[in-house]
Structure 1
Amino acid sequence: MKSGLKPPSRSRRVPGLLLVPLLTLGLASGCSFTEPATDTAPAASPSPSASSSGSGKAKPSKSSSASASPVEGGAETQEDAEAVVQSPQPAPEPEFDAAQEQFLQDKVPEGNDPNAILQVGQEHCDQLTSANALDGEAVLSELIMKPSKDTSDAIVSLCPGLLPVLEAAALGFPDGVFAVGEAAPWAEEPSVAPGTYRAYGMSTECGISVYAGSGDLIGSFDGTQPVTVGADAARVESTQCYSWSRA
């Protein structure tokens, strides 16, 4: 006897055959299966400053505007404070002793460094002192032939040990023509004082002539020996002797 029922095995295969078309249909229609997010961060809530009544633009906060403007009550901003800290400070006034002050008097033009001028004077003193230790006659002759106020000031203030040499140089005279009167060989009308003199270097070409007031020649000398200029002399002429100093 045949049963009217269909075999159950065929009815069970139908869902399995439709599974793939259904999934395909779902993807094609835009439906997708999304797994729920497990570690999703909560959405940030809008800040009060970002919301407005229809403008759609964020308003600046009070803290930002306060930092951009100076503090009330006249307080300095950070830039002003830095400007004050970085402003150049005046250089300290140099300190000099009495002798240095005396040497620098009227020698420092406005805007010049007094230390530089003082250094030049001190170096000149050092050179004269060293040269005087080696050949005092050469230093004396140099001071007679090339007197200088700066050199005299340096000796008086910075190296007073050379004062005797400076004083001796003031009594001497270089080559030239001089009246006999006072020791003023560099005056507008140069003159020498009566006295006994000796030549520096004793050059073979050195010569000196002494004349009386009448114009008569009192005597001519070669400079190898000291020469006396008497009170009766009126004029002295010296050539190639470099300098004459008191004997």
Structure 2
Amino acid sequence: MRRPLHRRPAAAAAVLAALLALTACSSGGEGGAEPPRESKAAGPTRSAAVPDRQAETVPTGPTPSATKGPTVPDSELKPVTGSFTATERKYLSGRVPENTDPAAVLQTGQESCQRLSRTAKRDKDAAVGAIIAGDIPDAEGVITHLCTDQMPLLTTARTGFGEGTVTAPKAGTYRALTTNPACAWQALGADGKVLAEGPAPGSAGNVRANVPAGAREFTSSGCYAWLPA
């Protein structure tokens, strides 16, 4: 029968606190497999390294991916001073809510690019995990239009999936993008029977999951994000 996963959030909190302390001391600089179909679980544990979250770079404008309702027409996408480039206009198209300064939305995207660049220089897995887990707002649009040099990160992220419950997972070996000892997983069959479960330690302390053929569901907790191993 299916057994519940055990959660140990204290270790995840310690890892995140250590990363934030490291970020605050840094001045920074600029810098496969077919993905299963995913249904996100509530409250994921962000136990892997996450993007640089210095106060001066945390986006303060509207989150483009969350834009709903009427938006500013493309013909009215003009900054208070100067002008937008063609690339910037493509990014802003459909992303600026009415009565919102398009320059603020653009700045949000540019800051996301900067965070990605800084994080990737320290740890590419952390940057990819942040994209998969949704820590980078509108990562697809941001990378496609504003920082195409980060496209390899997006390409890799498309092969992975976040923690929670994934239906019809593709058989194979996956690695968790975290060293959190609380990471645990189960692969379940059509009848709910546990076919495989972990953690099973991998290289550099990461957890690896072996999903057998015939698995109908893959559930994980405290694992942040997964990539094919």
Amino acid at match of 2:130: E
| Residue 240 in structure 1 maps to residue 217 in structure 2 | no
List aligned pairs for 1:130-209, cutoff 5 A.
130-146=118-134, 150-180=138-168, 192-209=169-186
Amino acid at match of 2:108: V
Question: Which runs of structure 1 show a deviation greater than 4 angstroms over 4 or more consecutive aligned residues?
Answer: 91-94
Amino acid at match of 2:192: G
* Length-normalised TM-score, structure 1: 0.52
Please give the per-residue CA displacement for 1:84-128, whole angstroms capped at 9, x wherever unaligned: xxxxxxx98853333211110112233433223212211221111
List aligned pairs for 1:12-31, cutoff 5 A.
none
Q: Any stretches of 5+ residues in structure 2 without a counterpart?
A: 1-78, 203-207
For residues 90 and 167 of structure 2, the distance between their equivalents in structure 1, rounded to whole angstroms, comes to 35
% identical aligned pairs: 30
For 1:232, what is the secondary structure of its paired residue? coil
In structure 1, the partner of 2:117 is 129
Aligned length: 146
CA RMSD in angstroms, aligned pairs only: 2.4
List aligned pairs for 1:29-40, cutoff 5 A.
none
For residues 148 and 127 of structure 1, the distance between their equivalents in structure 2, rounded to whole angstroms, comes to 9
Distance 1:97 1:193, change over 3 A: farther
| Residue 230 in structure 1 maps to residue 207 in structure 2 | no
List aligned pairs for 1:44-193, cutoff 5 A.
94-146=82-134, 150-180=138-168, 192-193=169-170
For 2:138, what is the secondary structure of its paired residue? helix
**8 Å contact 2:174–2:226 — kept in the other structure?**
yes
* Length-normalised TM-score, structure 2: 0.56
For residues 130 and 139 of structure 2, the distance between their equivalents in structure 1, rounded to whole angstroms, comes to 11
Please give the per-residue CA displacement for 1:185-240, whole angstroms capped at 9, x wherever unaligned: xxxxxxx4433210122322221111222333221121423323233111111122
Whose relative contact order is higher, 1 or 2, with alpha carbons under 8 Å and at least 6 apart? 2
1:242 is displaced (CA, Å) by 1.8
Q: Any stretches of 5+ residues in structure 1 without a counterpart?
A: 1-90, 181-191
For residues 200 and 172 of structure 1, the distance between their equivalents in structure 2, rounded to whole angstroms, comes to 10
